[in-house]
Amino acid sequence: MGTAAMLRAAGVGLGDEVVVPAFGNVEVAEAVAMAGALPVFADIDPVTYCLDASAVEAATTPRTAAVVVVHRFGRPADIPRLHDVGQRHGLLVLEQGESEAPYDEIAQRRERAAYLDAKLRGVRTPDGGDGHTYQQYVVRVPGNGRPDRDAFARALRARGVECRVPVKTPVHRLPEFRRCLSLPETERAADETLALPVDTALTKRDMQRIVGACNALGGLLQPAF
């Protein structure tokens, strides 16, 4: 059952508000709108890239009926705190996860992530935390935000390293959902994040090439720490 159908089945609809992340795909906000409710955007935790429980509570109003939590990049959201917020305010808490990979594939991705954690310089590596499956290995590129990150990504691709910007535009900045609100962690993440490959098909030589390319460029930027 899709998000819109689950919201409707729970009685969420016209006149209700649903708290959602702006850092991610537009489909979540679209599903809320399809259910007849109004998507309300809350900021993210800068470590997990998932909804921050304090930000969700701050965004809650008497019209808030639900929260849609999206687990991001293989790192789970802080579900206990988010459910605590939901219980205090009588909110439905829905979770959206990413498709689970087989255990051996997750183990290989974690092995590659550990290699990058140990070798990368000049970028901020992800905080693995409990349960991270590394659907994507997302680093922060320090500097002055998006211009530096985009230049870094172009230079990596020129060196044969496939990389991608995970969220190019936060949903609250898209024309159909534009809101005049500040989500500083969301906006900073959209400007600084870059996903590096940790595919199970990558060889040790591939991993060394990724590290070599990143470290050669990272020296041009201010340290992230």
Spell out the per-residue pLDDT of the chain, length 225, in tens.
Answer: 789 999 999 999 999 999 999 999 899 999 999 999 999 999 999 999 999 999 999 999 999 999 999 999 999 999 999 999 999 999 999 998 777 789 999 999 999 999 999 999 989 999 977 789 999 999 999 887 788 999 999 999 999 999 999 999 999 999 999 887 899 999 999 999 999 999 999 999 999 999 999 999 864 444 443
Coil/strand/helix, residue 145: coil
* pLDDT value at residue 220: 47
CA dihedral 13, 19, 25, 26 (to 10 degrees): 40
Here the tokens at position 225 are 């720490």
Domains and CATH numbers, the chain: 3-96 (3.40.640.10), 103-218 (3.90.1150.10)
Using alpha carbons, select from 130, 15, 16 the residue that is nearest to residue 67. 16
Coil/strand/helix, residue 189: helix
d(CA 43, CA 49): 9
d(CA 128, CA 149): 21
- Asked if residue 195 lies in contact with residue 168, where contact means CB atoms within 8 angstroms, the answer is no
Q: Which residues on neighbouring strands pair with residue 94, listed in sequence order?
A: 68
Bridge-based pairing state of the strands 137-140 and 193-196? antiparallel
CA angle 162, 132, 195 (to 5 degrees): 20
* pLDDT value at residue 101: 84
Instruction: Provide CB contacts within 8 A for 85, sequence distance 6+.
Output: 53, 56, 57, 60, 67, 91
- Asked if residue 134 lies in contact with residue 115, where contact means CB atoms within 8 angstroms, the answer is no
* pLDDT value at residue 218: 67
- Asked if residue 75 lies in contact with residue 132, where contact means CB atoms within 8 angstroms, the answer is yes
The CA-to-CA distance between both ends of the chain, in Å, stands at 43
d(CA 75, CA 166): 14
Instruction: Provide CB contacts within 8 A for 165, sequence distance 6+.
Output: 149, 150, 153, 193, 194, 195
Phi, psi of 17 (to 5 degrees): -115, 145
- Whole-prediction pTM value? 0.91
